[in-house]
Structures are given as structure tokens and as C-alpha cells.
Structure 1
Amino acid sequence: MRTPRDRHFRWPTSRSRQADPFAARSASRRSAWGRPRPFARPRQPRRRASAASRPRLSSAVRAGSRVGFELAIFDNDGVLIDSEPIGCGVLSFLLSEWGYRRTPEQCLADFQGTSFSHLRELVQGRTGRRLPDDFHTRYQELLFSRFRSELQTVPGVRAALERIPLRKCVASSASRSKVRFTLDVTGLAPFFGEDFYGAHGLCRGKPAPDIFFHAAEQMGVDPSRCAVIEDSRAGVEAANGAGMACFAYCGRTRREQLKPDRGSLFDAMDKLPALLAST
């Protein structure tokens, strides 16, 4: 007879002396060692938290949207202003006068988007001669004279600027004085205020990324949150070097020459606002 000291002792009850309808079930629950296996507890239904206790998410997170760009950095020549035909015509005239014959089309292919210091190095490397010291001054004088009467904006850029809600600035390989002059002549200055930067006399020009880093620093925006709008191979290379997304405008440049690491190509300015909003 079992005693209370036994491990599995249970006090006898009147029910234990009756036929146990669960005897077979109890026997099946016993292991080979005679010890009962515990019944599996039924899973309790999970209680849903009330609306008040659940964490509140912003509408952007609930919609699954990503944080987009904060700053749009525009190139000037060929993106905002249609200056490249004029500039290449002046450059062709001065280079040919100096003895290095280049057509406006060749000047566009060779020097589009580059800084004047880079242009000087290219010409010296090809001709073995150094450009005259007053070459840049003469170039600026002739260029500004034609700008006053001929310069126009790139088709559709004014409407695109009005539809882009991001902060904006200009980063050009040219001098800051040239950027200011062209923005004033074309009436685009109100879109940028004083937020325009020129590499000439400040830092290395494109294809070096210095001017884009400088613009992002001056605007107080991380490079990863910047979108560059360019139209030249040198400008796209500079944006790639800065680690910035680049939206390359195929205005006067062949598409195969523009290869942004991040971003896309587009062929009309009215497409730019949607591209910036969806990336």
C-alpha cells in the first residue's frame, strides 16, 4: 500500500474506487518508467492590443514611403540656361584665332561641363603650348556681350523649378560672377537667392566632385540626401564621385555618354519633378 511518503501517492477518494472513464487515457499518458506525462496545455488565443495601446506610426511610415531628397543641386550651363551654343561659338573663335582650330561642335564635345582650368590643361596637353594669360578675360567679355542679347533658359526649366518643392542651389564649374550674371539675365535668380556656387578660383572643377561637396556643405545637407541635375559627362562623373544621385538631362549630350551610378536619364524638363519625387 502506498503511503504519503511515496512520490506519486494520492489520497483515495470515493471517485477513485469507481470505474475511471479516463483510465485508458491515463495509462497512455504513462511513460515506460511509470511516470505520467503532462497534458499539453491548450494555446490561449492572443489578445490584440487596443488601438490606444498600439504605437502610433506616422502616415509616411504606414504608407511605406521612403525618405527622399532634401536638396536639388543644379548645374547651370545646359541645365538652367541654354548657354552652350553661345559659349562654344566664342571658344571656337578664340581658339582658332590663337592657332588651335576647333569648331563649335568639337568644343562642345571636348570641353562641355569642364572648368576653365581643366580646359587650359587639355589644350596645353594637345598643342604643347600654354594659352595666353588674358585668354579667360577675353572669353568672358565676348561671352557676356552675347549673353545680354541672346541667352535663353532651357525649355521647360522655369515650370519645372516651380513644381519642385525641394531646397535648391546651383553648382557650376564656371565662376560665381558668371553664374550670378546668367541667372539675373534669364530671370531665374529668385529661385536660388544667394545659393549658387562656382568652382573657378575656389576648388577643382568638374569632373572632380569638389564643387558638389562644397555646395552640400554650404547648404548643410548630407551628400546622400542631395540630387544633382546635370547634362555633361564631366558633371555626371563629378556627381558619381560625390556619391550623389544624378539625374542627367539629355539635351545636347548623347545618352550613352551619361552614366550616373544612381539616378536616371531624362529628355524633357517637365519630367524632372516626378523623377525627383519618386526616387
Structure 2
Amino acid sequence: MNFEAVLFDCDGVLVDSEPITNGVLRELLTEAGWAISADDCERLFIGRAVRDQRALIEHHTGRPFSEDWLQGFYVRRNARLLAELQAIEGIHDAVAQVHAHTGGRIACASGADKPKVLMQLDKVGLSRFFGDAVFSGHDLPRSKPAPDVYLAAAAHLGVDPKRCLVIEDTAPGAQAGLAAGATVWGFCAQGHGRAFEGLPVARVFHHMRELRL
């Protein structure tokens, strides 16, 4: 298919932020009384907004989920990201090629809070490609795996979602893209793409050099 627009997830697709963010989250959950393993923290939280897991956090910590706790997580997370964040290998060339191929019809559609997304894009030098086409599930009625953020991004670009390609690295994100009616390619830098098992993603690829339209 000749895609008219490409919609990128952010964390794990544009920037290698997941290990940093998940590490900070695990520290805070442990401090709150939930001695969660690294594997379980990834399984339960990657691809989902932390606030959407409120009931789960309250169940395991025995404490009410508070906005103060969440803001504390954001502060510690952002400080670590500013110090350590790196771009996904090969992403600058890949985004530049896709940007040129689509005539600039690309967007970033993330489940994370928008200030974090903007900060990350700026830090790794990708902001210039996306401009104001940056969307957060936090600003919409539902975040991933609901399709809202991808529908908003497609509408902003003026492209039918069915003519869009979504690049995702998690099952909830892939579900969001598929629910929007887009074609989804799964990016898996490590492993065999098991995150997408059972989902009708059109392709799984392992390095950004493979993202060519």
C-alpha cells in the first residue's frame, strides 16, 4: 500500500526511554510497598498510562493513588530522561526518509503525557520533523489501547486512518492503531516480536534501517 501518512509512537519507537521510565516507576512502586519485578513492571505498564493502572497500584501498595505521587514520579522520571535518554538507533535517517516520502505528513501519537513527549523529541533532535503534529492520549477521552490518539493524529494531517501506517512497539499501541483502522508495523529491537502475537500487524521489523516506504 502507498501510505499517505505515517504515525509514530514515541517511547520505544523514536526514543529508547522504556528502560529508564520503567526503572523509575519500579523504584517508586517498591518504595510504596509493591516489590514488583522488572519483568512484571514491563508487562503491566509499558504501553499504558500509569494513571490508567490506578486500581492495580492501589491493590498492590495498599495506599490510595494520589496526584502528588504521580507528579513525584513525573519529576524523577523526567530528570533521569534528561540525563540518560538516547534516540533509537537509526531513527533520524528513518524519520527523514519517511518525512520526505509523505510530504511531511507524519505525526507522533503517544500514550505518554505531552510534556514528556515534547521534551524527549527535543532532546534527541526529532522535534523539527513533527512540529505541532504531536499528540498525547492524556489529552483525549481514552488512551491506548483505545484508538483516540491515532484518530486525532490522522485527522490533524487530513488523512483517512485507513491510508495511515502506524509504527508501534507494544501490544496496547498496536491495538490502538488497528482499532483506528490503520495498518500497523511492529518494531521490536530485541527478541522475535512476541509482543504482537495474535494481533494482525502487517509486519514486524527489528532495526529502523528496515523502515523504508
The answer to whether TM tops 0.5 is: yes
What displacement does 1:127 show?
A: 5.6
What SS does the aligned partner of 1:88 have?
A: helix
Worse-matched range after superposition: 251-260 or 219-228? 251-260
Find the counterpart in structure 2 of residue 184 from structure 1: 122
Worse-matched range after superposition: 135-144 or 82-91? 135-144
State the distance in 2 between where 1:181 and 1:160 align. Answer: 20
State the distance in 2 between where 1:243 and 1:128 align. Answer: 39
**In the alignment, residue 136 of structure 1 is paired with which amino acid?**
L
**In the alignment, residue 200 of structure 1 is paired with which amino acid?**
H
Structure with more relative contact order (C-alpha pairs < 8 Å, separation 6 or more): 2
Q: Provide the TM-score with structure 1 as the length reference.
A: 0.70
- Give the length in aligned residue pairs: 208
| Equivalent pair of 1:85/1:104 in contact (CA under 8 Å) | no
Return the index of the structure with the highest Cα Rg.
1
1:63-142 equivalences in 2 (<5 Å): 68-124=2-58, 129-142=63-76
What SS does the aligned partner of 2:26 have?
A: helix
What displacement does 1:256 show?
A: 2.3
Q: Provide the TM-score with structure 2 as the length reference.
A: 0.91
Find the counterpart in structure 2 of residue 194 from structure 1: 132
Point out where structure 1 has 5 or more consecutive residues left out of the alignment: 1-65
State the distance in 2 between where 1:231 and 1:79 align. Answer: 6
Find the counterpart in structure 2 of residue 23 from structure 1: none
| Equivalent pair of 2:174/2:201 in contact (CA under 8 Å) | no
State the distance in 1 between where 2:193 and 2:210 align. Answer: 16
Find the counterpart in structure 2 of residue 266 from structure 1: 205
What displacement does 1:244 show?
A: 0.9
| Equivalent pair of 1:232/1:253 in contact (CA under 8 Å) | no
Worse-matched range after superposition: 251-260 or 74-83? 251-260
More helix by share: 2
State the distance in 2 between where 1:114 and 1:171 align. Answer: 13
What displacement does 1:125 show?
A: 5.2
**In the alignment, residue 72 of structure 1 is paired with which amino acid?**
V
**In the alignment, residue 185 of structure 2 is paired with which amino acid?**
F
What SS does the aligned partner of 1:162 have?
A: helix
State the distance in 2 between where 1:241 and 1:76 align. Answer: 18
What SS does the aligned partner of 1:171 have?
A: strand
Task: Tell me which of 107, 111, 120 is aligned to 1:173.
Answer: 111
1:55-70 equivalences in 2 (<5 Å): 68-70=2-4
Q: 1:56-88 deviations in whole A, cap 9, x for unaligned? A: xxxxxxxxxx6x111100000000000001001
Point out where structure 2 has 5 or more consecutive residues left out of the alignment: none
